[in-house]
Every structure is written in structure tokens, then in C-alpha cells.
Structure 1
Amino acid sequence: MDIHEIKEILISSLALDEVYVSGNSSHIQVIAVSKIFAGMSRVKQQQTIYAPLMKYITNNSIHAISIKAYTIEEWQSYGKNLYRC
């Protein structure tokens, strides 16, 4: 599965302010930024990102995924410094 397809699925499914998807067709890294993550546990944040991708994980289009989710404030404070394109 192409990283651009994954990005489009996430954008169309979730209210994300920013999303970065990298990796190859089977090992994907996702960084998602949104106000929807405020007050959520880290587990709930990851479950939110997993949800629209589950059918692709289940059918092995995505073999492995790493997720980092940030609120807008977290991203502005330190997330941007951790992420390098």
C-alpha cells in the first residue's frame, strides 16, 4: 500500500490538522496532529489512528505501523523538533 493512499485514508476519516506518513509499502510510520487527541490516553490516540486502517492491517496491505499522535499544543511545543522530513 502506498504511503499517499494511507495519508488520504487518514485525512478523509479523521479530523487531523497535520499528518505525516513515511515508510515503505509494509512498514509505515504515522505522525498525526489534532485537537481530537486532547484528553485521550496514548492508547486511545493510537486506537483512533488504527481504526480507519484496520482492514489494511488485517489483509496485510500494511504489515507494521508506528504511530505518534500529538495534540496541537504538544506538536507546537516539541513535536516539530522531533520530526525531521
Structure 2
Amino acid sequence: MEIEAVAQLIRNGLPGSEVEVTGDGSHFEAVVVSDAFSGLTPIKKQRLVMDTVKAQIASGELHALSIKTLTPEQRLA
């Protein structure tokens, strides 16, 4: 998969989020900033992001995704 394709999947699944993705084609790291994370536990934040790429992980197209989640307030801190 391409880096931008992974980023776009996350953006589509979490509208209004800011997404930065790096990686090597099968292993990716994503930093996602979204209002949707406000008040959620860390595991729920991770699940929200993973749900956006669930089909690609199931098919093997996306092998691994490491995620860092932040609210806009956390990013500014």
C-alpha cells in the first residue's frame, strides 16, 4: 500500500482529522489528531483508527499499523 492511501482511508473514516503516515509499504506509523478522540480511553482511540483500515488488514494488503492518537488540545500542549 502507498502511504497516501493509508492516510486517505483514515481521513475518510475520521472526517476532519489530521493524519500523518510514514512507512515502507507494509508497515506504517500514523499520527492522527481528531476531536473524535475527546473523552475516549486509549484503546477506544486505537480501535477508531483501526476500524478505518480493517478491510486492508484482513486482506493482508496492510500488514502493520502503529498509531499515535491525539486530540487537538493534546497536540498543542
Question: How would you bin the TM-score normalised by the shorter chain?
Answer: over 0.9
Give structure 1 regions of 4+ aligned residues with deviation exceeding 2 angstroms.
Answer: none
Any gaps of 5 or more consecutive residues in structure 2? none
CA RMSD of aligned residues (A): 0.9
Matched with 2:18 is: 18
Matched with 1:43 is: 43
Distance across 1 between alignment mates of 2:68 and 2:16: 13
Number of residue-to-residue matches in the alignment: 77
After TM superposition, the score normalised by the length of structure 1 is: 0.85
Alignment partner of 1:63 is 2:51: no
What percent identity do the matched residue pairs reach? Answer: 30
Q: Report the AA paired with residue 39 of structure 2.
A: G
Q: Deviations over 1:19-60 (max 9, x none)?
A: 100001110001000111010000000000000101111111
Which structure has the higher relative contact order (CA within 8 Å, separation 6+)? 2
